[in-house]
Amino acid sequence: MIQALSEYQFLQNALLSGIFASIVCGIIGVIIVEKRLVMMSGGIAHTAYGGVGLGYLLGFEPILGAFLFSICAALGIGYIRRKGSTNSDVIIGLFWSLGMALGILFIALMPGYPPDMSSYLFGNILSVTKANLYLIIVLTVIVVLVIVTLYNDWKAYLFDEEFASILGIKTALLNYLLLILVAMSVVVLIRVVGIILVLALLTAPAATAGLLTADLKKRMLYAVLLGNVFCISGLWISYQMNIASGASIVILSAAFYFALYAVKSVVRKWKGRKIRES
């Protein structure tokens, strides 16, 4: 595969997109898992399908449509959730299903043969174009800069939102900003693992890192490193076996998490038994 990397542009694009996607997953994924916003992230991700369909219908880049719909969904879910007038699970479910339904409707309204949507639903890292890669890089840089610049505020916000508010931190702004960053992360990951599998890659490396350390900065670092391992290994497996890249990456991520969780559980039980015997 190393020789193929030097020869084929599409493999270079795939490798770079996987690396940048791993950076986003590692940073935002830890915050999502810590704030228990996994399902909300899934709602934002699936709403993006409506934007993809709109892009095809109106003739502009589908990823830009996904970005627009994701941002609107993030702000809408965040606003209604903070108002507290309706159960947030209901809102997430409605946005989730509405986005998918709009995507199907927009595709159905297109004249002629409908496009193949499988790469947007299930991902195809090997089909990442130069334009997609540039967008991924820009969004990744924005996400990293926002997190690094406001790192102490994020740390207080994750520790205790009410305490952070007492300290003078604008928690409402951080909440909306977090949802916008999630929307950006979704757009970064669509071409890598697809809308359906975005949730797994956002959570698996972060959850795995949480089993290794409780320190926030180390968790982010470990999640980034694990994400890179999963993406590069999944890319290699998909290239060698000619199978879907998104599925390879996600299966590898989930399998590693469950394996580590099982090992940690066995070690914990063994230590507990040793303590009782002594």
**Distance separating alpha carbons of residues 276 and 278, to the nearest angstrom:** 5
- Mean per-residue pLDDT over the chain, rounded: 84
Most trustworthy range by pLDDT among 4-8, 175-179, 245-249, 251-255? 251-255
Q: Where are the domains of the chain?
A: 2-277
Q: What is the CATH number of domain 2-277?
A: 1.10.3470.10
Question: Cα–chain-centroid distance for residue 230?
Answer: 14
Residue 198 has pLDDT above 90, yes or no: no
Are the C-beta atoms of 156 and 167 separated by less than 8 Å?
Answer: yes
3-state secondary structure the chain: CHHHHHHCHHHHHHHHHHHHHHHHHHHHHHHHHHHCCHHHHHHHHHHHHHHHHHHHHHCCCHHHHHHHHHHHHHHHHHHHHHHCCCCHHHHHHHHHHHHHHHHHHHHHCCCCCCCCCHHHHHCCHHHCCHHHHHHHHHHHHHHHHHHHHCHHHHHHHHHCHHHHHHCCCCHHHHHHHHHHHHHHHHHHHHHHHHHHHHHHHHHHHHHHHHHHCCCHHHHHHHHHHHHHHHHHHHHHHHHHHCCCHHHHHHHHHHHHHHHHHHHHHHHHHHHHHHHHHC
Q: What is the C-alpha R_g of the chain?
A: 20
pLDDT in tens, 22-76: 888 888 889 888 888 888 888 888 898 899 999 889 888 888 888 899 999 888 8
pLDDT in tens, 71-116: 998 888 888 877 765 567 788 888 888 989 999 999 888 887 777 7
pLDDT for position 83: 73
pLDDT for position 179: 87
pLDDT for position 260: 93
pLDDT for position 6: 61
Report which of residues 123 and 136 the model is more confident about: 136
